[in-house]
Amino acid sequence: MKKMIVVAAAALAFGGVSLAEPVNPDVNTCFGDVQTALDTNTSYDAFVPTRFLDEARVYEWKAPYSDANATPVATLVIIEGVARKRADHGDTEDVTIKCGMDAGVVRAIEIIDGHDIKIDSPVAPTRVN
């Protein structure tokens, strides 16, 4: 029995499982909120990441979410994947999920067509005083 456990642990270690980074909690929250948001989305009804969640991009933002959405966020989470079209379950598209997060809560979600979207720098915050 011990030998089987040691062999299984060695197989996992050599397979790279022990080298995996833990998933950022903001990535998990974003992914979960995206799954919920798809219930009411008119274009897509399912999303599957094309990479492991520990490979999602996370940016310190501390600025408005975007030019069009002035909601202040502290973090951006970017997850690439494939979305299934609601109208035709046989049709999928490459999409990128962009979540604006603040204090562990999703403040904005966007589904962007395609992959490899560029995130250069935070949007310049608007001065309030």
Task: Please report whether residue 16 resides in a domain.
Answer: no
Task: Please report whether residue 75 resides in a domain.
Answer: yes
Name the helix (H) or strand (E) containing 10: helix 2-14
CA distance 116 to 96: 8
Task: Please report whether residue 126 resides in a domain.
Answer: no
Task: Please report whether residue 17 resides in a domain.
Answer: no
Q: What is the pLDDT of residue 37?
A: 95
Rounded to 5°, angle at Cα 101 from 18 and 62: 110
Task: Please report whether residue 77 resides in a domain.
Answer: yes
Q: What is the pLDDT of residue 19?
A: 57
Task: Please report whether residue 120 resides in a domain.
Answer: no
Q: What does the DSSP 8-state code read for residue 17?
A: G
Q: What is the pLDDT of residues 94-114, one digit of tens each?
A: 999 999 999 999 999 999 999
Q: What is the pLDDT of residue 85?
A: 96
The ranges of the chain with pLDDT < 70 are 1-20, 121-129
- The distance between the two most distant Cα atoms of the chain, rounded to a whole number of Å, is 69
Task: Please report whether residue 92 resides in a domain.
Answer: yes
Number of domains into which the chain is organized: 1
Full residue range of the structural domain in which residue 71 is found: 23-113
Q: Are 42 and 83 in contact (CB under 8 A)?
A: no
pTM: 0.77
